[in-house]
A and B are shown apart, each in its own frame.
Chain A
Amino acid sequence: MVLRPEKCLGCRSCELICSFNRAKEFNPQKSAVTVIPYDKAMICVPIMCTQCEEACCEKVCPVSAISKDEHGARIIDEKKCIVCKMCISACPLGNIAFDGDKVFKCDLCGGEPNCALHCPSGAIEYKEALPSSILKRKALADRFKDVFGEEE
């Protein structure tokens, strides 16, 4: 997942599609992604699970209900989950929540995250095997190119 808040329109399409896919209702409370608006700073920031490599949620789960799937997503096995909510407490990023029934988090929609698919501005993108740091390094390299390169 590559998040670019500077591109976010604040339209919350991501929240709508996420909650609908998960809970069959339009309800930002049941979305695994949340857009946080900052009025005075004039920016909106989408926040969601970053699929930690050292996942506290997985480590703290007393019944081993959380595991990594083939797409790198930490997913919750609802059959095993006892809804103790320890993972919610453990997540340092606040990206696991309880919807009144189940504990839920971003599962990357089985490899095709719908938030990214329906984001109109490219603020949320899903790119495999291309870490965002490479993009940032390239943006920096572009500046050297612009200053020292020969291209008109």
Chain B
Amino acid sequence: MYAMTGKLLRVNLSSGTIQTEAIPADLAEKYIGGRGLATKYYTEEVPAGVTALSPENKLIMMTGPLTGTFATSAGRYMCVSKAPLTETIGCANSGGNFGAELKYAGFDGIILEGRSPEPVYLHIKNGKAVLRPADKLWGKTVYETTDMLNETHGPEAKVACIGPAGENGVLYAAIMNDKHRAAGRGGLGAVMGSKNLKAVVVRGTDGIKVADSEGFLAACIDARRKLRSHPVTGTGLGVYGTEILVNIVNSVGALPVHNWRDGAVYKDAEDISGEALAEKYLVRNKGCFGCTIACGRVTKIPNGPYKSAGEGPEYEAAWALGASCGINDLAAICKVNFLCNEYGMDPITLGATYACAMELFDKGLLTKEEIGGPLAFGDAQSIVDFAVKTAMKEGFGARLAEGSYRLAESVGHPELSMSVKKQEMPAYDGRGAQGMGLSYATSNRGGCHVRGYMTSPEILGIPTKMDPLVTEGKAAMLKVFQDLTAVVDSAGICLFTTFGMGLPEIGAQLRPATGFSYTDEEILKTGERIWNMEKLYNLSGGFSKKDDTLPPRLLKEALPEGPAKGKVCELDTMLAEYYQVRGWDAEGVPTPEKISELGLK
């Protein structure tokens, strides 16, 4: 097998046994790797009725064939499991150096099973793996854990770990790697914590060989050139990071304010924008392994009450902690983002849960006594104070740790949670960008922007400009985005490459890397296969058409101002068309013909 090691580790944490398995070449061809391959293993091995935090759940980490090579931004690895926040298929990926190092150590992926009786960490070095006691690491932050493991295993070792949030079962705890990078959404860090697995440390010195060296290098150089000459991947993301979107999305009236209650034009957008971040706190930009886009923000708050340093925030985090909470204090937003990295939590869900709590407090549905003080929109100090309390599940933090849906439901108002399938929607209002609304409603992991990024055509005009306010054509475009994203996540490259390149460049890199002769069309069909595989798994877990929806606020409350004034999300129209485009029946179930066409059983 080329580009892949062809091997995976199977670690049973209950019994402490570790085995190496071969990955069949036909599976690698049919599911590419990463998200596709991991989901194939996961759905075969874990019945849909298994709950996320039970020992019967498994957690799979999987790289793609391009991970660790010279391909475009090829530093990604994928985590697949049942997600505690949603109980849907959970699937989150991350960059940094960990994924590449895992391949250099001789493995494409790791399947983690069972539950260790004691806290442990997995140490992998050049084809060998061993479980070691983690009692000294338990309770430590992500930074402390990483430093301690690098002290023990050398500075070259790469670490993926959980922080206190994952240990304590915060439902949106992240798996962190290289300190600042996160497989962030859905709470897979809590799955790792439930298995008593604190960290995976990996060091490898083997190389990755490709099938056609010259052809591969030429394809990589061509694709890299395209990224560097594109305004988004060559300039925008490097200079301003994803935060560049704050002013852009605000200008089209799709930046939700105050838990999506008060429209989608934020008066203080400028204060929390990428431009402001670059001017005030950016030290330099940083790339993940092999990435020339380098959207990473190395940031420092040099003085004041929030004096600290770290990485981020991303656009969605800055929105969730900023506009959605009515907070324009960028230093406080950065501080909470750093704490999320340190304690291992998803700042999107944390910020959106704060915003929900603020609205519940505003409406008198949560009292000062319950919260331990007021929690009003605009209260920057509180979002900082509650970050650690949430990770530690202290006081009201324990309720914030459940996410916005369970919080709002506990006071009898689940409709005030701005979530889909209990996962909070990120920073793009589905009323001002209709296709994003459809994307949230149909995402296999709940409210999420990176399953089908309709912002790209609707707001950025990539690959073609679509009117964000109309519904026509959105279903068909979304299908392509969802399928292509599944390909990207399986190949081991970053989704951001798709601003500057597309399927032809992905296919041109995959074929010489692996030696498989799949055409671009077949590769995209694989994306569709992966999407349907995830969908079928959710269906067998009890999800149905009624879950493919949006909070009532988006369907009934029209935007009061801005370019999208008067709009609600016209989901019903788009959803029916989407099911049709997908080859699913009117209830959103893949037809037997579609299942057979995709080679799924």
Contacts and interface: CB of A to CB of B under 8 A. Distances in A.
Contacts, number: 69
User: Does more than half of chain A's interface fall in helix, strand or loop, or is it mixed?
Assistant: mixed
A11 interface: yes
Contacts of B287: 9-11, 120
B217 A20 contact: yes
B288 interface: yes
A30 B290 contact: no
A2 B235 CA distance: 23
Contact of B300 (A27, A30, A42, A44): A42
B294 interface: yes
A152 to B, nearest CB: 23
Given A39-B179, A42-B283, A11 B208 contact: no
Nearest to B285: A9
A39 B180 CA distance: 10
A29 B289 contact: no
B29 to A, nearest CB: 21
Contacts of B208: 25-27
A63 interface: no
Nearest to B288: A11
Contact of B290 (A12, A39, A44): A12
Contact of B207 (A6, A30, A120): A30
A25 B300 CA distance: 37
B309 interface: yes
A135 interface: no
A27 B292 contact: no
Contacts of B294: 9, 11, 120-121
Contacts of B97: 12
B142 to A, nearest CB: 12
Interface residues of A, number: 25
B291 interface: yes
Interface string B267-294: 0000000000000000111111111101
Interface string B242-284: 0000000000000000000000000000000000000000011
B298 A42 contact: yes
B104 interface: yes
A25 B214 CA distance: 12
Contact of B292 (A11, A20, A26, A44): A11
Contacts of B283: 42
B70 interface: yes
Contact of A9 (B207, B210, B286): B286
Given A20-B213, A27-B205, A120-B228, A12 B286 contact: no
A7 to B, nearest CB: 8
B70 A10 contact: no
B419 interface: no
B206 interface: yes
Interface string A9-24: 1111100110110011
Interface in B289-320: 289-292, 294, 298, 300, 309
A135 to B, nearest CB: 19
A32 B507 CA distance: 30
Contacts of B397: none
A85 interface: no
Nearest to A100: B205
A120 B292 contact: yes
Contact of A27 (B104, B228, B285, B289): B104
B90 interface: no
A12 B289 contact: yes
Contacts of A25: 207-209
B324 interface: no
Nearest to B298: A42
Given A24-B213, A26-B208, 16 more contacts: A9-B286, A10-B287, A11-B292, A12-B97, A12-B289, A13-B70, A20-B213, A26-B70, A26-B210, A27-B205, A27-B207, A28-B104, A29-B207, A43-B284, A44-B286, A118-B224
What 5 A-B pairs are tightest by C-beta distance, nearest first? A27-B207, A25-B207, A11-B287, A120-B292, A9-B287
29 contacts: A9-B286, A9-B292, A9-B294, A11-B288, A11-B289, A11-B294, A13-B70, A13-B292, A16-B69, A16-B70, A19-B207, A20-B217, A23-B207, A24-B209, A25-B207, A25-B208, A27-B207, A28-B104, A29-B104, A30-B207, A42-B283, A44-B286, A118-B221, A118-B224, A120-B224, A120-B228, A120-B292, A120-B294, A121-B294
Interface of A: 6, 9-13, 16-17, 19-20, 23-30, 39, 42-44, 118, 120-121
Interface of B: 68-70, 97, 104, 179, 205-210, 213, 217, 221, 224, 228, 283-292, 294, 298, 300, 309
